[in-house]
Structure 1
């Protein structure tokens, strides 16, 4: 991992590189491909924040955050949530700290927008990323969202 890690918005110049990112075959059921993420970002508009993870300008992964820091007084049980929607590190680049960097950047953006908590959903089970998120300080809430486990981190 180099000192030049950054996140970049998706553009016509980097869309093909983003679409070429792939996880290992045994991880394909754990995270949606970039194409699905970009389709979801398109339909969710302002809520979605898709970014390429770059190392020295070279794409190594994809992260998508969601932002909802609006409190709904009519639904106090429906706490506002912002967090990590999707994280995909290319199969050839896993284990290099890119996922940690991306999560830290998402958390920084949540704080910048006034949020105090980051949420993540992930596939539960022994092959899932629960351990990765726990090492970053996320605590399981015991909730499920769309069949995925929910964890939170106070910022």
Structure 2
């Protein structure tokens, strides 16, 4: 559930869309955290920061990072959360607080002053918590978030 730098390049070149891959050396973790982003446009003061669920990686949002309507209004970023993709793969950080600190630290380093954080599944609570930690976060979108695993309903499948 991860796409290498080379394959990522092929995906974006196929759609003729600019992109960047950056590895952040952060204070909060002792390994680089990978973020894939749309081509940066300094004319935009808004960013959308995508946080994937578990399992998953930044490639879950490549379609959004290439979307012409989104690209008109914002710079777009997608993280490989700690333990996923190419951010210390196979050694997931289970603490929502620690993951949120990583997301907030990256957001605080972005040039844009306004950030919308979108989290899906397990990325939902990370998006919400990161909004408390970073003053740059102006809005949070939670897409089918996993908020309380002990109270979520599970439905059996009949085969």
TM-score by length of 1: 0.42
Higher strand share: 1
TM-score by length of 2: 0.42
